[in-house]
Amino acid sequence: MNIDQIVRLLGQKYGIPQWRPHADPLSELIQAILSQNTSDVNSSRAFQSLMATFSTWEMVAKASVDDIAEAIKSGGLNRIKAERIKSILEGILESRSSLDLEFLTELSIPEAKAWLKGLHGVGPKTAGCVLLFALGRPVLPVDTHVYRVSRRLGLINSKASPERAHELLEEIVPPQAIYQFHINILAHGRSICRARRPLCHDCALGEGCPSNGHS
DNA sequence: TGCCAGGCCGGGT
DNA sequence: ACCCGGCATGGC
């Protein structure tokens, strides 16, 4: 089963998500950091609380780690995330002199990704979220669902590391299909395809799911 | 109750 | 190049 068939089957099962602009790149970055290894209920509460506590990102940059950690407490991992958010905002202010990441649109995808990953606490998944959701670039954020389900479907070698999965999947998935692939793989991974093992018997991507018949 | 959630870093092999 | 512990709250 090739990538085009999988994209089509996912589309039949979950619909074709319509592209819509998300947040500005800096807000997307903060949201992505808060979502790291955290349920979306907890992380979105933390983001709302952060916005409600501080009126601007400049205020967050000047706040103490303790105060930021308190504001995002409901998200979990709050101490380490508060340190990362503060140091990232301070770093952007120092290097760019304003808290604005729109300049990333002028960079190539590899350049923009490298710049983001240079920030402490920003890995491939977080950088990918900023590039795809805020800037509309054809980059695939490989989170646990994308990683696990892609291996289950046989799209990539089950032994590939998460880092390697990023490279492999970006070669496989057509740029124009990345957004819907990401959205629908998450839908599939959150509902049906939840088991951690690489293959299973109940992963039903319609009749053609290659995971059918495995145990 | 115990396990897990849209990662990433630092230290060890 | 991998592997692993740490980080921490809220939901089920």
Which nucleotides along chain C are within 7 A of a protein C-beta? Answer: 1-3, 6-11
Confidence class of residue A210 from pLDDT cuts 50, 70 and 90?
A: very low
Catalytic residue list contains A86: no
Q: Give the pLDDT score at A212.
A: 39
Is the pLDDT confidence value at A57 over 70? yes
Is the pLDDT confidence value at A144 over 80? yes
Cα A173 to chain centroid, rounded: 16
Give pLDDT tens digits for A27-46.
Answer: 999 999 999 999 999 999 99
Which nucleotides along chain B are within 7 A of a protein C-beta? Answer: 4-10
* Residue entry with tokens 């490279």: A167
End-to-end CA gap in chain A: 19
Among A83, A79, A75, A8, which residue's Cα sits nearest to residue A46? A75
Please state, as a whole number, how many other Cβ atoms lie within 10 Å of the Cβ of residue A122: 21
Cβ atoms of A85 and A30 closer than 8 Å: yes
Q: How far is the CA of A97 from the C1' of B3 (A)?
A: 44
Nucleotide nearest to A182 (CA to C1'): B6
User: Which residue in the list A81, A86, A113, A125 is annotated as catalytic?
Assistant: A125
Among A161, A156, A146, which residue's Cα sits nearest to residue A210? A156
Give pLDDT tens digits for A160-204.
Answer: 998 899 999 999 999 999 999 999 999 988 877 665 544 443 444
**pLDDT: which is higher, A215 or A42:** A42
Q: What is the spatial distance between Cα A212 and Cα A16, in angstroms, rounded to a whole number?
A: 23
Please state, as a whole number, how many other Cβ atoms lie within 10 Å of the Cβ of residue A64: 10
* A87 membership: H or E segment, kind and range: helix A78-96
- For residues A88-104, average pLDDT: 96
Q: How far is the CA of A183 from the C1' of C1 (A)?
A: 31
* Residue entry with tokens 């793989």: A185
Q: Give the pLDDT score at A201.
A: 39
The DSSP output letter for A201 is: S
Cβ atoms of A81 and A34 closer than 8 Å: yes
Between helix A40-53 and helix A25-34 the angle, nearest 10°, is 130
